Structure 1
Amino acid sequence: MTTRTQLPSAADVLVAADRIRPHARRTPLLDVEIDGRRVLLKLEHLQRSGSFKLRGALNAMLSGPLDDHIVTASGGNHGLAVATAASLLGVQATVYVPEPAPAAKARRIEAARARLVRHGADFAEAALAAAAAAQQPGHRFLHPYDDPAVVAGQGTMAAEIVADAPDVDVIAVAVGGGGLAAGTALPIGGRRIVAVEPEGCPCLHDALAAGTPVDAAVTSVAASATGATRVGEVPFGILTSHDVASVLVSDEQILNARDRLWEECRIAAEPAAAAPFAAWLADRVPGDRPCLVVCGANTDWSAA
């Protein structure tokens, strides 16, 4: 990480919470018993735009003067969040997505009145094209996870958890580029984070093993949301200074967890959002009072 990068703090999360409050929902906690064990679920899939990503997009866009045109790249959820935030704030948005991006997410981005551009085989290729397009006057590139304001915005979700359930001792989150996990680390004091990734998208797991961000392969049923090929420098800088356990789950475990969230709780989560629940079902989430973040629901169940 460059020394010029200022990592966000817990204080930045509090400022972000005030900043985004007029536009973002405070999502509920659900206390359930499954297989004879109690667990809290943070229902962030009920957030506007269908995922936690709206928090970071709003905070980043409201942190300074509004740009005329926001350009971003996304596997889907961040793009939909930017499109939604841009519509709420009255600015234009262009979202680059990889060619394989799910139709459900692409359709919703366009429905939020953003311009959608399909480019490249993966997020990294889409991001390069988006960054180049953002060089035009009046345009700004907004990174989905490697941005201090985005990370602070995502941290508002965790701040709600500890305010509503102060006895929570572990929070489990799905990891793509690391923005949600890093944001979660900021306001939770000494509580532990369990960072859950698909076996086919292990960018944080590989970075922690290597001691630095490294490129990782992306092959998973959850890749549209957890398909970053490299963990962000900002998230990595935060997560390496906190108590983080890295857990990998298989696609089979993810899909089973997604189906059980529906059968047990009638929660319609996308695969990535079921990853923390998959880890918990496999007894990979410790603690006396764990909370699992159900982070998104942008899927079409008729095609799932």
Structure 2
Amino acid sequence: MTLPVSPADVAAARKVLDGAVLRTPTLPAPRLSAITGAHVFVKYENLQVTASFKERGALVKLSSLTPEERAAGVVAMSAGNHAQAVAYHAARLGIRATIVMPKHTPIVKVAATEAHGARVVLHGESVGDASEEADRIAREENLVWVHPYDDAHVIAGQGSIAAEMLEDAPDLDALLVPVGGGGLISGMAVAARHLRPDIEIVGVETRLYPSMWNALHQQGLPCEGATLAEGIAVKQAGTLTREIVSALVSDVVLVSEPTIERAVNLFLTQQKTLAEGAGAAGLAALLAEPDRYRGRKVGLVVSGGNIDPRIVASIMMRELEREERIVSFRFSMLDRPGELGIIASLLGSLGANILEVEHKRHFLDVHAKGARLDVTVETRDRTHADAVYRALIENGMDVERIDWRSGN
């Protein structure tokens, strides 16, 4: 079978990339290994200048242009990492770049793209709208399209990641790879199958955007919703990438949003590295099916680290709640001097650190001479949280746990 991209194409791409992009490390992750039961190795593509693997494919594509095409300029459509990658390397090569982004793209991403010298055009409500505008601009201004994934040069560039991983960790049993349009996993599959025909290659999509899964299974699951993994929130898989994935990829799995959140948190707290939602998808798949990979050597790609700091803060707090290291109690008490002090002193003696207090009086379900007190505290772990709750009851407190899982 002749595929759109060959191992020779990946080898040629590596020569273009040599010295122009960072050869990111592939390192063992003992803490993640202890948590998952697999022997985990991580490829840190979030260390690239624009914090994403997208630089590889973008540079290979740009380097393939003829002198006439370079003089004319390029156009790309992206709401994030591809935009910055094209803008950055186009500036390095002296190529005029136009990037079309949806109107509601976060300002920080627009500013980052403009900072690399690109002309940014904001158009439409969706990536689809932006793509149509980019196509119009390409025709009217005779610009070269730099597609984010469905391009042979782009795919070959992304394949360099697997080649590097298998040089650094040649005995990997499996690769877990984020999938959006499929450019990353297609290139990696071409390179990995050439070097290790027996290796298992698993693509990972968020359940909200199962575009490649749909294509492989001839299904029509909806692709919609707000996802933490916006980098792989693609409604339509590529034509070239579908062909390669169908031929070379072992499986494509779907992961939930809470599992992606947990993976982002683990990369930050255990590996001390920042992974965006899409970049943590591989670890999410490992967390979702630990028995499938137990005892095996598994390679993960942190494909990008461009994530809003506010989202990171929210994820960390939500994970602390899931682990019951942050818990909330609701007290029903008499509205008289000293009651709040008694509760605060008792919590302190139990080793619970008070984070937030909300005092409520003017509710009809509260006694006219009473008050309701919601207190959020920090505990050591779930066992400690349970011990604090029992001690409060044993000390005569009228108290209940507020369970974040039920919304009560």
- Tell me which interval the TM-score lies in, with the shorter structure as reference length: over 0.9
Alignment equivalent of 1:168, drawn from 148, 154, 172: 172
2-structure distance, mates of 1:255, 1:270: 10
Q: Which residue of 1 aligns with 2:287?
A: 281
Q: CA offset at residue 75 of structure 1? A: 2.5
Q: CA offset at residue 223 of structure 1? A: 4.9
User: In 2 relative to 1, CA 137–116 (structure 1 residues): closer, same or farther, beyond 3 Å?
Assistant: closer
Q: CA offset at residue 303 of structure 1? A: 4.9
2-structure distance, mates of 1:165, 1:112: 34
User: In 2 relative to 1, CA 102–223 (structure 1 residues): closer, same or farther, beyond 3 Å?
Assistant: farther
Q: Which residue of 2 aligns with 1:245?
A: 251
1-structure distance, mates of 2:106, 2:260: 17
Q: CA offset at residue 252 of structure 1? A: 1.1
Alignment equivalent of 1:209, drawn from 202, 214, 217: 217
Q: Counterpart of 1:100 in 2: which secondary structure?
A: coil
2-structure distance, mates of 1:37, 1:215: 31
Structure 1 alignment gaps of length 5 or more: none
Q: Counterpart of 1:22 in 2: which secondary structure?
A: coil
Q: Which residue of 2 aligns with 1:180?
A: 184
CA contact (8 A) 1:207 1:231 kept: yes
283-292 or 263-272, which deviates more: 283-292
Identical positions, percent: 36
Q: Which residue of 2 aligns with 1:70?
A: 74
Q: Counterpart of 2:248 in 1: which secondary structure?
A: coil
Q: Counterpart of 1:204 in 2: which secondary structure?
A: helix
Alignment equivalent of 2:16, drawn from 1, 14, 19: 19
Q: What letter corresponds to residue 240 of structure 2 in structure 1? A: V
Q: CA offset at residue 104 of structure 1? A: 3.1
CA contact (8 A) 2:17 2:56 kept: yes
Q: Counterpart of 1:58 in 2: which secondary structure?
A: helix
Equivalent runs, 1:108-127 vs 2, <5 Å: 108-127=112-131
- Bigger radius of gyration: 2
> 2:7 aligned with 1:10, yes or no?
yes
Q: Which residue of 2 aligns with 1:79?
A: 83
Q: Which residue of 1 aligns with 2:298?
A: 290
2-structure distance, mates of 1:137, 1:37: 51
Structure 2 alignment gaps of length 5 or more: 313-408
Task: Please list the CA deviations of residues 115-167 of structure 1 after superposition, one character each: whole Å capped at 9, or x if unmatched.
Answer: 11222222222111101101145521111101011000110111101111110
2-structure distance, mates of 1:274, 1:12: 28
Task: Please list the CA deviations of residues 257-293 of structure 1 after superposition, one character each: whole Å capped at 9, or x if unmatched.
Answer: 1011100011111111111111111226637111010
CA contact (8 A) 2:210 2:221 kept: no
1-structure distance, mates of 2:119, 2:214: 34
154-163 or 105-114, which deviates more: 105-114
Q: Counterpart of 1:186 in 2: which secondary structure?
A: helix
Q: CA offset at residue 218 of structure 1? A: 2.9
Q: Runs of 4+ in structure 1 displaced over 6 angstroms?
A: none
Alignment equivalent of 1:272, drawn from 278, 281, 285: 278
Q: Which has the higher contact order (CA 8 A, sep 6+)?
A: 1
- The TM-score with structure 2 as length reference comes to 0.69
CA contact (8 A) 1:175 1:181 kept: yes
2-structure distance, mates of 1:80, 1:127: 16
1-structure distance, mates of 2:91, 2:135: 21
Q: Counterpart of 1:24 in 2: which secondary structure?
A: coil
Alignment equivalent of 2:237, drawn from 231, 234, 248: 231
Q: Which residue of 2 aligns with 1:60?
A: 61
User: In 2 relative to 1, CA 303–222 (structure 1 residues): closer, same or farther, beyond 3 Å?
Assistant: closer
Aligned pairs, number: 298
1-structure distance, mates of 2:206, 2:141: 39
Q: CA offset at residue 102 of structure 1? A: 3.1
Q: Which residue of 2 aligns with 1:139?
A: 143
100-109 or 173-182, which deviates more: 100-109
1-structure distance, mates of 2:40, 2:106: 30
95-104 or 258-267, which deviates more: 95-104
CA RMSD of the aligned region, Å? 1.9
Q: CA offset at residue 300 of structure 1? A: 2.9
Alignment equivalent of 1:199, drawn from 176, 186, 207: 207
